[in-house]
Amino acid sequence: MKIEFRYHGKLSEVLGRNSEKLQVNSQNAGDLIRELILQKPQLKETTFQLAQKNKILKSEAPIEELDIDVFPPFSGG
């Protein structure tokens, strides 16, 4: 399936774009994180969480949406 990933915070800079569609096969969030890092090795050293339908996904959560938000923590203050 093709999922649109929306990158937030510094991830959009690391990847040079705010969003993109990627062909992925993962059925749950944990697998999807690993698959995303395989396709985007720049994310390997970063910390982030996936969200769908405005819910942060636990690793066993099934992927049901074709839009996924990718959020890093922010440190600035």
Partner 1 sequence: MFFHHFPEDEKVNRYQRHIQLAEVGAEGQAKLEAAKVLIVGAGGLGCPALQYLAAAGIGTIGIVDGDRVSLTNLQRQVLFDEKDIGLNKAERAKSKLEKFNSDIEIQSFPFHLGLENAEDILSKFDLVLDCTDNFVTRYLINDICVRINKPFVHGSLYKYEGQVSVFNYQNGPSYRCLFPNPPKAGDVPNCNEIGVLGVLPGIIGTIQATEAIKMILGLGEVLSGKLLHYDLLHHNQKILEFERNEELIAKIKESKNIELVDTDDCQLDVQISIEEITDLDKALLIDVRELDEFPRIEKANVSEIPLSQLTQMIGEIPSKGMKIFFCASGVRSNQALAVAKKENIPNCFSLLEGAEELENWIKK
Residues that bind partner 1 (CB under 8 A): 8-10, 45-47, 49, 51, 54-56, 58, 69, 71-77
Tokens (6 digits) for 9: 């915070």
Task: List residues bridging with 65 in a β-sheet.
Answer: none
User: Which of 21, 58 has the CB closer to partner 1?
Assistant: 58
Rounded Cα distance between 55 and 15, Å, is 23
Nearer of residues 1 and 56 to partner 1, judged by Cβ: 56
State which residue, 35 or 72, has the beta carbon closest to partner 1. Answer: 72
Distance in Å, CB of 30 to partner 1, minimum: 13
Amino acid 70 reads V
Q: Are 22 and 3 in contact (CB under 8 A)?
A: yes
